[in-house]
Amino acid sequence: MWQNQSLQNTGSDRIFQNTMAFQVHNKAIVELLYKALLGEVKKMDMVSKLVASDLEWWFHGPPQCQHMMRLLTGEKPHNDGFRFEPRSVTAIGDCVIAEGWEGKAYWVHVWKLKNGLITQFREYFNTWLVVRDLRPPAWEDERKDSNTLWQSQPRDLYRRSLPGLLLAI
């Protein structure tokens, strides 16, 4: 019995380690993308290798704040005005969440990756974001509350009123 339990724990440990390695890899890809957009590495060569050509794009915020779209499409050079310098980058499963601010603009980016390629991008400007896992655990049929995985941390949180959104993953 002890031997069987030990084997089960080893299998669980391997799954956990693989998941953590997967998340670290995804986070590194997104961090490399930001470096490319800041001009720290060759931009267009790197961006085309990291982002799928059929990227699914979601934007929430004022239309004039679609800075990332202009950067990724090459409409606006990386050194022209708005700079995306993440203050925090967090990997959760196949998603990587980055947040930061430039002047009075607060932004959150949620990148979804598949096989090391960015396939989906959600951009939120001046919006309070809460990310929750709404799936019930395998051992429960129902769940009374959800698990908050991440939430916005704008630097001037208590001096501003931001609209809020819930992102379920």
> Which residues are bridge partners to 12 per DSSP?
none
Q: Tell whether pTM > 0.75.
A: yes
Topology of the domain comprising 2-126: Nuclear Transport Factor 2; Chain: A, (3.10.450)
**Boundaries of every domain in the chain:** 2-126
Confidence label for 2 from pLDDT (cuts 50, 70 and 90): very low
Report the distance separating Cα 82 and Cα 99, nearest Å. Answer: 14
Model confidence pLDDT, tens digit, residues 122-160:
999 988 888 888 777 666 555 555 688 888 887 665 676
The answer to whether 168 touches 150, Cβ cutoff 8 Å, is: no
Q: Where are the alpha helices (DSSP H) in 2-133?
A: 2-37, 43-50, 67-72
